[in-house]
């Protein structure tokens, strides 16, 4: 057992103030996790996550004590949560920038093979999807979506997953 398990339990079972502490424990910023561990250890008197969770689950007074500690340090907890969110957003932004840099690099590459690979995959994907539609008696939307995924990705439709879920639900209903 680890501290994120304690955090998951707190977020689901311990109420508002303690749920913030649970968010600290399930985060990925070491300082925030350490602050959450300190608050839970202070409330339960336990330094190990399994013993702390047992104390929280069996003694309601420890949850009340944790809420009191969370209220006392609410500003600090919220600052840690803000830092965790900011770190996650920076990671996502850096990932997006890296993806775009890779795509642009291949689009202007000196080597024809590198420069033509993505558009070529897109055309093959498009033709495979069209072939499937015109040669199948009852084409499946899921298979068609898979066949067309490279074309859609090349065209910029990278979040198509939600649309596929909607199509699947319509197929089941209708």
Segment holding 83, helix H or strand E: helix 74-107
Give CA angle at 116 (147, 129), nearest 5°.
15
Judgement on whether residues 83 and 134 belong to the same structural domain of the protein: no
Nearest C-alpha neighbor of 138 from the set 170, 171, 162: 171
Domain membership of residue 105 (yes or no) is no
Please tell me whether residue 109 adopts helix, strand or coil conformation. Answer: coil
Closest CA to 22 of 77, 82, 86: 77
Do 30 and 87 share a domain, yes or no?
yes
**Taking the model in full, what pTM does it have?**
0.52
| 98 in any annotated domain | no
Please say which residue of 59, 91, 123 terminates a domain: 91
Question: Is 116 part of a structural domain of the chain?
Answer: yes
What is the C-alpha separation between 169 and 121, in angstroms, rounded? Answer: 29
Q: Residue 84: which domain range?
A: 3-91
Read off the pLDDT of residues 26-82 as tens digits, 9 standing for 90 and up: 877 777 788 888 888 888 888 888 888 888 888 888 888 888 888 888 788 888 888
Q: Are residues 64 and 136 in the same domain?
A: no
130/147 Cα distance (integer angstroms): 9
């Amino acid at each position: 057992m680890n501290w994120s398990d304690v955090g998951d339990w707190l977020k689901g079972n311990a109420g508002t103030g303690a749920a913030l502490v649970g968010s600290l424990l399930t985060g990925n910023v070491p300082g925030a996790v350490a602050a959450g561990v300190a608050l839970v250890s202070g409330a339960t008197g336990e330094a190990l996550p399994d013993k702390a969770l047992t104390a929280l689950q069996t003694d309601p007074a420890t949850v009340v004590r944790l809420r009191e500690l969370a209220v006392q340090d609410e500003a600090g907890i919220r600052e840690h949560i803000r830092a965790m969110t900011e770190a996650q957003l920076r990671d996502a932004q850096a990932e997006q920038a890296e993806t775009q840099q890779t795509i642009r690099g291949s689009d202007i590459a000196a080597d024809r093979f590198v420069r033509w690979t993505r558009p070529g995959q897109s055309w093959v994907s498009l033709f495979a999807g069209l072939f499937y539609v015109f040669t199948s008696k009852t084409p499946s939307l899921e298979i068609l979506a898979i066949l067309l995924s490279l074309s859609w990705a090349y065209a910029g439709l990278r979040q198509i997953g939600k649309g596929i879920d909607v199509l699947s639900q319509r197929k089941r209903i209708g």
